[in-house]
Every structure is written in structure tokens, then in C-alpha cells.
Amino acid sequence: MIEVTNIRKAKRGDEQALMGLVQELADFEKAPDEVINTPEQLAIDLFDDQLCDCFVYEVDGVIRGMALYYISYSTWRGRCLYLEDLYIQPEFRRTGIGLKLFQILVDEAKKLGVKRMDWQVLDWNESAIKFYEKIGATLDPEWINGRLFF
């Protein structure tokens, strides 16, 4: 059976599948109870308020991966693109799709005229670290993340 794959921008109606991927990612990152977002809020943020945007990877019409991002700002550089989550379901990894999805995001960053693209990777996620090193990304050990929850 031939699988039909597609990468496209997220559209209204994708929010349930996207939140399913978000939960899978949280489970993988050993933080399953940290997700408090909802499909309804994600739809508002993506499509109404346009706070973020997302590319999705489909196999036979089913979303199997995503790259969710937003525009951030650097006082040193100006506009930046922040990759919040790049996630591909495990059974679809190591097929080159992560690289394709990442490249589409790089192309989007260039189209938007940003000066830098940022993301985080957990220090124990060796496969992700190897992926980013393979594409020539700089992984900066100097910065410590700060965070407040409200």
C-alpha cells in the first residue's frame, strides 16, 4: 500500500489532532500532567488571534507530526522565529520527515525575514541533539532557561 504524505499549514479542525501530539510529546518528555492547554484554546491562538502558526505532517490524511512556532524578538537581532515544538510520532521518525519539516520551517523563517531561529532541546534527548548537530545547529550550553507560571 502506498502512503500519501503531505506537509501543510495547520487549519481549523486540526486542533484536536495537534493537542494529541502535544500530549504525546509531554508524555515523551516525562511531563504528562503539565499540559493544561485545550484544543479550543489552541484553535483561538492559532486561527483567531494568530499568536502562533504550525506546519503539520500528514500520512494518508492523518496528522503524524508538527512544527509549531511563533515570532519572537531579540533586542540584538530583531525579529526571530521560535520553534516551540517539533514532534514526529515515533513510528514515522528516521524517514527524513523531521529534516523536511525543519527545512520548511527554515524556509518560512527566511520568507518572514527573521534574523535568527531559536528552540530548546532537553539535555537527555540524545536523538534530538544528534539531529540538530547533524544539520549544523548551535546548541548553546551557556544559557539557563528562566520561567514563571501563572
Instruction: Enumerate the active-site residues.
Output: 132
Per the document, the length of the chain is 150
Residue among 44, 35, 42 nearest 16 (CA)? 42
Q: State the pairing for strand pair 78-88/62-74.
A: antiparallel
- What residue has cell string 527524513? 96
Q: Which residue type sits at 30?
A: K
